[in-house]
Structure formats: structure tokens, C-alpha cells
Structure 1
Amino acid sequence: MAEEEIEVVVVGAGQAGIAMSEHLSEREVPHVVLERHRIAERWRSERWDSLVANGPAWHDRFPGLEFTGRTPDEFPTKEEVADYFVAYAEKIGAPIRCGVEVKSVRKNTGGLGFRVETSEGVIQARYVVAATGPFQHPVIPPIVPETPDLVQIHSSGYRNPEQLPDGGVLVVGSGSSGVQIADELRASGRDVHLSVGPHDRPPRSYRDRDFVWWLGVLGKWEATTPPQGAEHVTIAVSGAHGGHTVDFRTLAHNGITLVGRTDSYDGGVLRFAPDLRDNIERGDANYLSLLDEADAYVERNGLDLPEEPEARRLAPDPECVTTPVLELDLAKAGITSIVWATGFTVDYDWLRVDALDEDGKPRHQRGVSTEPGVYFMGLPWQSRRGSSFIWGAWHDAKYVTDQISIQRGYMGYHGRSV
């Protein structure tokens, strides 16, 4: 089979890959986007049924297309998000090939470019963009051994309450996924425990503006590095039920038992760190700090936005906070399932070039890797705090495309004529 040649191969047709395709097309750079499944597959098959976007439709999108069938302040469902990317790819005429798996990328020995081996043959590419993002392998901490009387699944495998056996559920993780899944399980009538670790807790909205607006006008989306010690702190925010501020005390008053960070397991007993109150209070401090900054911004700029003093009223501490549960006999508590909302790790085993560190994580600066000609897209904090969001990926893709164009300019130079 003859080898195909193309200037840029983009691996992955999610938000990062589609954004790259748009900017490459605008620069008239020949390219192809390879996707082993469908466009935006993870939105369809690796998310629970009731998931909605965490950002409102007016904000969490690409500049060139609005969500249809949604008012600007509504939160699109996961299927609507996936359909949005399909529509966007059609709109820009993205050269996407679905059902093509990239098996390996290697630097050409003694020559320019890379040999991209795929399930449909070999492509010679001058540049390669790894746009597969960070959510590749679900992470379940090795705490609780597998036992026949306890179902353990990752949040990426959770679909709905009916999927789990009868009985109580422990949800581990206090970010958006863990909170929404725990709330859904409790609403279905389940006895639910929620393991709460360190987190940021922004208001869903304040003074008639969504938190994404506040982070924008306060310049927080443009932060280039996370605060010291907060590199992996989750954000507790939800677009469910029309969007609401996550309040762990309210979850507890509604019947969810809060526990601290899941620590260890022995003989059927799960132990939790004594950090629940501290984690909740630090989340409160993050929440109140943003309200303070928002109020100061309103006053400084003379904005006519309604005051909202009730936003500062916190619910009283529930018993599970004042008298924390530090260990739990799962069988006696009737817990038959654990849902691990504990994040993901990357998988770049196919990328066999000098662009990864000893842990297999990308070595890059704003997506430009340490291997000339290889670029990354779709990473958290790739260039700024907003990089993880749909609109943030679009802006990151513009920068990466600029860097590719600069290199193309160098390669197009043939020396001074004589």
C-alpha cells in the first residue's frame, strides 16, 4: 500500500481537533484529522445520561457557531454538545476521517517529518498535533480490592441509577462529576455517601451574572498557572437543574452523608481523612472571595447589577460535619456500589517521540512540545485557566497554528539567490 503524504496530521476529533482544523484551514495548511471513533465520542459514550455542560450556551462554544434550540443562558445536554461539534465540523468542512486509529507516530530517521502508522495505512506528515486531550484513562485509586459483593465503577462508566445494584452508594470525588452523580443518586431514593476532598466552589451565578462572566471580567480565565498547591484541585460547579451553586451543606441536609477524603480500606471497613470540615471551609473561602471581588468590581465600575446579600448566607453545619464519620463498614452501612469520580490520566503510548516526561505526560510550552514538529492540544492549563473549556481550546488552537505557520515559513526559505 502506497504511503500517503500530508503536511499536518491532527490526532483526535473532539473540541481540540476541530478547533485546530478550523485554524489550519484558514491558513490554507493541508491537513487531516484522524478519529478512531466518532466526532466528540467521549461526550456520547463516556458520560452519564443526564449530564449537561457546566457552562451556559452563550459562553461555552466556538466563536463561529451558536447552540441551536437553547437560550443563551441554558446548559446544553451532552448529546447537544456532541451534535454541536458534528455541526461545526460540517460548517468548516473539516477533513475528518472517523474510524481511523493512530497506532504510532515516529520521527523519520535522517529526514524531515514523522511516520504516522494508522489502521488504514501509513501517512507521512511534516507536523503532528496530538489533540486527544487529558481524559484518556479513568483513574481508580488502588484502595478497595475487587470483591463480588461490591460494584466499583469510574464516573466515565456511570450512566444512571438503574445501572447499579440495589443498596447504598459511595461516591468518591467532590468535583462537578461527583457532586452531580451523588445528587442524582440521592434523588432516585438511594442512600448516598459523598467523599469530599479539596475543591474550589464558585457561585453558579451572582448578581445576575453566571460565574463564567465573573471569571472573565475579573481576568481569572487568563491565569497562566494554577495557585501553588492547587494544580489538581477540582471545581464544584453544576449546570444541572438549570444551573445552581454547589453547597455541600445543602447536599447533606437533603440526605447525603458527607465524609472526608477516602484514605484506606481494611477488612470491609473504609477509612476517611479527618479533613471534611477543612475542605468545606476552604471551599467556602474560595466562594466568598469571588463574591468580594465581584462586589468590588461592581462598585469600581458603577455597574447596575442587583445586590444579592442572601448569597453570603451559608447553611448550618450538618451532623456529618460536626461529628464526622471517619470509618465505615460498607456491608453494615448497606453500601453495594462505589462510583469513583477521581479523574483521568493521559495515554500517549502511540506518540513515540521525545515529547513526554518519565511519567508519560507532555513536555511542552503552550502546546509546543520539546520534539520539533510535534504539538499538543486540549490540555488543562495549556496556556491559561480557560484552556479546558470549549472556547479556550479554540484560542489555544489559534496559537498552535501560528507556531506551525512560523515553522512552515522557515522551511519555505531556500536561501539567497546568486
Structure 2
Amino acid sequence: MAVEKIHTLVVGAGQAGVAISEHLGKNGVEHLVLERGRIAERWRSMRWDSLVANGPAWHDRFPNLDFPGDPDAFVPKEQVADYFEAYARKNGAPIRCGIEVTGVERLARRPGFRVETSGGVIEARNVVAATGPFQKPNIPPLVPAEAGLNQIHSSEYRNPAQLPEGSVLVVGAGSSGVQIADELMRAGRRVYLSVGPHDRPPRSYRGRDFVWWLGVLGKWDAQAQAPGAEHVTIAVSGARGGETIDFRRLAAQGTVLVGMTGAYTNGTLSFSDDLARNLERGDRNYLSLLDEADAFVADNGLNLPEEPEARVLGPEVDCVANPLRELNLADAGVSTIIWATGFSSDYSWLKVNAFDEAGRPKHQRGVSSEKGIYFLGLPWLTGRGSSFIWGVWHDAKHVADHIVIQDNYLSYSR
């Protein structure tokens, strides 16, 4: 059987794969994008039903195509997936769906890679891993299966009706965990929310969304997370038209806040004594951004409405003043634990020298330590914006430019 040959093979047709296909195509680089599911599959099948984008439509998009409708709206997940399909069609992206890449190895004594796929073998000079960071759901091995609880990862959650009757413990208070907990509480469930260290920016302030403030304050330009903040989540939501996350307000509405989840013993979970500290850290992050925004308005003479009520924090609540240190799950009626504890990458198919001792990609702005291998779609790939749709587009441009530059070097002759 003949081996198909291609200059650059892109693995994954999510936002990263669609973005780099545009840049490669504009540069005349022959390429192919393989996707084991549908275009933007994870937006369709690994998100809950009511999810909307965390940024407004005017900002959370690629530069060359707007979302239809209100530019200040937060777009539902299905429409986000449709957007990427439309963008791929607009640029004539050469995408093959339903093809899984199972192995990539460097060719012997010649440039390029042998790529094993469910549709046959392909040889490619370059391979772009655009599969992103959401391959393997992280579920801490705390509560054994024999405990008889319904345990799912946040990527498996769809809606409240999916869960058995009873109370729910949500572990993790980043964007996913806090939105799922809020939805369950509004559906009438008793909800316990385990809150760790987090940042919680204002959804909007003085008439501008927080993504605008991050832009004018230069915070999108950050090249790396501050030391010690690598595992700090961000609590922000576009639900119900966008609102600032305030954990104390959630507690006042009925959600029971607890600290970080610790050990499990004989049906009882213990929690760290860090709830108040974690909330105070989020408050400091929130108020510091308001301070910087006010200073920017004053320094630049902007006519933006004052918003003193934004500095009024949620009420003090008993679950913060007297936090639970342990919870007997049966006595509390907890039937489900939702682990909103993030993901880990899975590059087991990529059998090349491009990873450190911990299995993390070794790269600079997506350019791997293994010549001809590239990474896209990772958080902080080039900076803070890399986790956002618009940031992926700019990251992809850098990777595509690097591929073209290398081709120019190789084509040089005296």
C-alpha cells in the first residue's frame, strides 16, 4: 500500500488546528489536518449543556471572522463549535475527520516522521501537535469505587437531570466547578463546593468587560505565570449574560463552601483549614484589578461611570466563619462527586525526544526541542492569551512562520 506524503501534518482540528491551517495555507505550505472526531469535537461532547464562552463574542474569536449576533454576548458552546467549522470552510482547511493518529516516529537517516493513523501511514516533514491540554481527565484517587458514589469528571457532566437524587460535592472552584455548582444549586440541589486557591477577576467594571481591562492594562502580555501561581485557577463566568463570581454570594444563596479536599476515611472526607485564606486571596486579586482600573481611568482622563458598589463584597456566611473540616457523605446525603480538577496531556502517540522528565513538552513558543515537531493549544504557550481563542490564532501564526523560515533555509543554494 502506498504511503501518503505531506509537508506538514497537523494533529487535531480544534481551535488550534483550524488556526494553523489558515496560516499554513496563506503561506502556501502543503498540509493536512487529522481529527479523530468532528471539528471542535471537545466543544460539542466534553462540555455541559449550558456552557457559554468565558469571553464576549467581540473578543473571544479569530481576527478574520465575527460571531453572528450581539458582539457583547457570551456564545453557547454549540455555536462556538459551528464557528470553527465555518472558519475552516472559509479558509478551505484540508481537514479529514474520523482519523486517529496512533504513533509518530522520526524517519531513519532522512528528515521527517512516519505517522501511523487509523487510515494508513503518512510521512510528514513536520508534525504539529494541536491536541491541546484536555486529553486525560484528572480524578484524584481519594474516594474508592466501593464507596458506592456516582463519581464523574466535570467533562462528563451535562445537566442536573443526569445525576441521581441527592446532594452533590463539586471539587474544584475554577470556571468549570463554580458554574456547575451554581447550576446545580439553582436546580434545587444541596451543593458542597470545595474551594482552593483562585483568582477571580470582575466580569466587568465601569462598563468594560475584564478582557478589555486586561488588554489596556497590559496583562495579556505576561509571558509566564508568577512563581507559586502555576496551580491557581481562575473563577470567571459568561453564564446568564456574564457575572462576577462571588463565593460568599453563592454561599448566601445556599451553596456550602469547604476548603480543599483532603483524605477519605470510612465514608468521611476531610477538608483543609484554608477556606478563608483562599477566599481572601481571591478578594485581593479582585480588588487589585479594580484599583489598577481606577488608576488607568484617572491617568488617561476616560469618561467611564464610577462603580463603587463593585467594591462591596458578599456577606459573611456561617460556612466561612465556621468551616466544615470533615463531611460524612452518607449523613449529608451526597450521592455524587463531580471532580472539576482539570486535565493532563496525553502525548503517548508522539514517540520523539520532545519531552522533559515529567512528560511535559519541551518547547519555546511552540517550537519543540525535536526539529520538525511543534506544539499548539497549550496554556501559556507564548503568554497569558494562549488559553483564549484569539491567543491561539496568534500562537499559530508564530509556529507557521517558523515552518516557513525553516523551509527557506533548506531551499537555499549558492
The two structures have a TM-score, normalised by structure 1, of 0.98
Q: Is residue 14–residue 84 contact of structure 2 (8 Å, CA) maintained in 1?
A: yes
* RMSD after superposition: 0.7
Secondary structure (helix, strand or coil) at the match of 1:147 reads helix
- In the alignment, what sits opposite 2:93? 94
AA at the equivalent of 1:123: I
- In the alignment, what sits opposite 1:332? 331
Q: Aligned-pair distance for 1:339?
A: 0.3
Distance 2:85 2:333 in 1: 43
AA at the equivalent of 1:187: R
Q: Aligned-pair distance for 1:358?
A: 2.2
- In the alignment, what sits opposite 2:364? 365
Are 1:65 and 2:70 counterparts? Answer: no
- In the alignment, what sits opposite 1:43? 43
AA at the equivalent of 1:219: G
- In the alignment, what sits opposite 2:182? 183
Greater shift after overlay, 12-21 or 309-318? Answer: 309-318
- In the alignment, what sits opposite 2:304? 305
Q: Aligned-pair distance for 1:147?
A: 2.6
1:285-296 matches, within 5 Å, as 285-296=284-295
Q: Deviations over 1:346-389 (max 9, x none)?
A: 00011000001222221111001110110000000000000000
Distance 1:317 1:347 in 2: 42
Q: Aligned-pair distance for 1:222?
A: 1.0
Q: Deviations over 1:6-40 (max 9, x none)?
A: 10000000000000000001100000000011000
- In the alignment, what sits opposite 1:229? 228
Distance 1:397 1:8 in 2: 13
- In the alignment, what sits opposite 1:104? 103
- In the alignment, what sits opposite 1:405? 404
Distance 1:37 1:102 in 2: 11
Q: Aligned-pair distance for 1:146?
A: 1.0
Q: Aligned-pair distance for 1:149?
A: 2.8
AA at the equivalent of 2:166: G
Q: Aligned-pair distance for 1:89?
A: 0.3
- In the alignment, what sits opposite 2:33? 33
AA at the equivalent of 1:55: G
- In the alignment, what sits opposite 2:55? 55
Q: Aligned-pair distance for 1:148?
A: 5.7
- In the alignment, what sits opposite 1:137? 136
Secondary structure (helix, strand or coil) at the match of 2:145 reads coil
Secondary structure (helix, strand or coil) at the match of 1:351 reads coil
Are 1:20 and 2:20 counterparts? Answer: yes
AA at the equivalent of 1:23: H
Secondary structure (helix, strand or coil) at the match of 1:361 reads coil
Distance 1:261 1:232 in 2: 13
- In the alignment, what sits opposite 1:275? 274
Are 1:345 and 2:344 counterparts? Answer: yes
Q: Is residue 247–residue 314 contact of structure 2 (8 Å, CA) maintained in 1?
A: no
Distance 1:153 1:346 in 2: 19
1:72-91 matches, within 5 Å, as 72-91=71-90
- In the alignment, what sits opposite 1:208? 207
Are 1:195 and 2:169 counterparts? Answer: no
Distance 1:97 1:164 in 2: 35
Are 1:119 and 2:118 counterparts? Answer: yes
Distance 2:96 2:364 in 1: 28
- In the alignment, what sits opposite 2:6? 6
Are 1:378 and 2:403 counterparts? Answer: no
AA at the equivalent of 1:32: L
Secondary structure (helix, strand or coil) at the match of 1:105 reads strand
Greater shift after overlay, 281-290 or 402-411? Answer: 402-411
AA at the equivalent of 1:39: I
Q: Deviations over 1:252-300 (max 9, x none)?
A: 0000000000011100000000000000000000000000000000011
AA at the equivalent of 2:249: T
Which 4+ residue blocks in structure 1 deviate beyond 2 angstroms? none
- In the alignment, what sits opposite 2:155? 156
Distance 1:59 1:319 in 2: 39
Secondary structure (helix, strand or coil) at the match of 1:193 reads strand
Q: Is residue 252–residue 315 contact of structure 2 (8 Å, CA) maintained in 1?
A: no
Distance 1:147 1:200 in 2: 35
| Percent identity (aligned) | 68
Q: Is residue 4–residue 123 contact of structure 2 (8 Å, CA) maintained in 1?
A: yes
Distance 2:85 2:399 in 1: 22
What count of residue pairs does the alignment treat as equivalent?
A: 414
Q: Aligned-pair distance for 1:395?
A: 0.2
1:256-275 matches, within 5 Å, as 256-275=255-274
Secondary structure (helix, strand or coil) at the match of 2:152 reads strand
Distance 1:91 1:103 in 2: 29
